Amino acid sequence: MEEWNREQWEQNKEQNELTAFYLYTPMCGTCAVASKMLEVVENVVLDVPIGKANINYIEELAMDYKIESVPCLLVSRNGEIQEKIYAFQSVQNIYEKLKK
């Protein structure tokens, strides 16, 4: 996953049918586990752009999207936020969400 800033997220969201944006903090243990899960999913789901960002550097986006906690995966379909995933549960779960 590439680190994206807000502009890159907005651009990918508008240009792709399905896009995911992973928000995390570096000291969050759950975020570290979620990152590993997303790396596996990213290797299987090649046609979905997935970016990531340290939420501490994009606080305005977090407020605009009303992010409640991290880790958070924003899933956009056709430019609109379809889902905010906070409970990553399993690789299979995330894979299914991105292959709908």
Q: Which residues are CB-neighbours of 60 under 8 A, at least 6 positions away?
A: 6
Asked whether residue 100 carries a pLDDT value surpassing 80, the answer given is no
- pLDDT tens sequence across 20-32: 999 999 999 999 9
Residue 3's nearest CA partner among 68, 55, 44, 74 is 55
Confidence class for position 17, pLDDT limits 50, 70, 90: very high
Confidence class for position 80, pLDDT limits 50, 70, 90: very high
Residue in the block written with tokens 């906070």: 86
CA atoms within 13 A on the CB side of 38: 27
Confidence class for position 49, pLDDT limits 50, 70, 90: very high
Query: Mean pLDDT lowest for which of 15-19, 82-86, 95-99?
Result: 95-99
The residue-averaged pLDDT of 66-95 equals: 96
Q: Whole-prediction pTM value?
A: 0.94
Asked whether residue 58 carries a pLDDT value surpassing 80, the answer given is yes
For residue 62, count other CB atoms closer than 10 A to its CB. 17
Q: Which residues are CB-neighbours of 69 under 8 A, at least 6 positions away?
A: 86
What structural domains and CATH numbers belong to the chain?
Answer: 2-99 (3.40.30.10)
